Structure 1
Amino acid sequence: MTKPVRGWFVSGMLPASAGAAALILAAALSLPAPVLAQEQAPAAAAPAPVEKEKDELGKYTLPDGDPTYNIQPDGTMDWYTYSGYRRYHAECHVCHGPDGMGSSYAPALANSLKTMTYAQFMEIVVNGKQNVGVGTADQVMPAFGENKNVMCYLDDIYVYLKARADGALGRERPSKREDKTKAYTANENQCFGRPS
């Protein structure tokens, strides 16, 4: 069996198990509606709200310590998410597109962060990444480990993109935000080597 072209159906290229699956699907669809209804599993319960903690910098974290966003029902967001919006559009959108939507040569981070962990995100941003032979051209993400305009705001950028990936934040410019804390400003100054 030859490999099908990436993402495209090629006639005669399905494994034998696909034919059996098609027969089972056809048989199931031919059952009367009440029988189908009896076979369906009950809907899953909505997930429980995730517990978040807020530290003195104003950063919200999950129980595992990973940073996360905090957006209130009225649209007010934490400082890190707001700052991440600003930093993303200053440093990342040139390649990855506005609002993490991607471009012709860089992936949509609003999609990537649906499955990417915080540790994986940090690894790629700090050290870069190269995908050879992906699509029609190689993809190269340069390393930003020595760029303070990225590294001093890495958590901010992550939580903004995570909020976009989770559908908690739309494409519009954020209008309501928490204030920047003094501890955040001191940490920012320290990262850049500026006096407090």
Structure 2
Amino acid sequence: MVFLGALAAAGSVIAGPAVKSEDGKYLDKDGNPTWNKKDDGTWDWYTFSGYRRYHAECHVCHGPDGEGSTYAPALRVSLQTMTYDQFQETVVNGRTVHTSGKESVMPSFGTNKNVMCYIDDIYVYLKARADGALARARPEKREAKIDAIKQYEDACMAN
């Protein structure tokens, strides 16, 4: 575990809500995964990976870059108030919302490994978009994918 104050003291100022890092994943004050952008423009691996995973699995309904569509909400807006636990609950179990005589259905992705093995990545990417930290573009610079992340992904996809 690396505390980000030590990194900042070493000249790598960190922007964003991250307060510590564990195995390449940045965490906020509540222990939830979050984005991290260094002052040289380097994004954490999870934000970069989340961009790719979101556009592989989620953008068909929720639009490019979390901007929404005619039948699914803008997750960039939703994650301004949605908690990490609420996000997980919705992705795992799906939900149905009734408003003004209309029904909106989010299917469950709880058995989709391409979503569940990368749920933190997707959340972190969308949180960076919701916080206004990441523009509508693929993160250009990124941290390397470390072995701990590779091992987690391999184990998750194998189960």
Question: What's the TM-score once normalised by structure 2's chain length?
Answer: 0.87
1:94-109 equivalences under 5 Å are 94-109=60-75
Q: Which residue of 2 aligns with 1:62?
A: 28
Cα offset for 1:104? Answer: 0.2
Identity of aligned residues (%): 62
- Is the partner of 1:65 in helix, strand or coil? coil
Bigger Rg over Cα: 1
- Is the partner of 1:88 in helix, strand or coil? helix
Aligned counterpart in structure 1 of residue 79 of structure 2, from 103, 109, 113 = 113
Cα offset for 1:173? Answer: 1.6
Question: Given that residues 18 and 35 in structure 2 are in contact (C-alpha distance below 8 angstroms), is that contact kept between their aligned partners in structure 1?
Answer: no
Q: Which residue of 1 aligns with 2:133?
A: 168
Aligned counterpart in structure 1 of residue 19 of structure 2, from 27, 52, 59 = 52
The structure whose RCO (Cα within 8 Å, separation 6+) is larger is 2
Q: Which residue of 1 aligns with 2:43?
A: 77
Does the C-alpha gap of structure 1 residues 106 and 180 become closer, same or farther in structure 2, counting only changes over 3 Å? same
RMSD between superposed Cα atoms in Å: 1.3
Question: What's the TM-score once normalised by structure 1's chain length?
Answer: 0.71
Q: Partner letter of residue 155 of structure 1? A: D
Q: State the distance in 1 between where 2:21 and 2:111 align.
A: 28
- Where does structure 2 lack aligned partners over 5 or more consecutive residues? 1-15
- Where does structure 1 lack aligned partners over 5 or more consecutive residues? 1-48
Of Structure 1 and Structure 2, the greater strand share is in 2
Q: State the distance in 1 between where 2:144 and 2:107 align.
A: 32
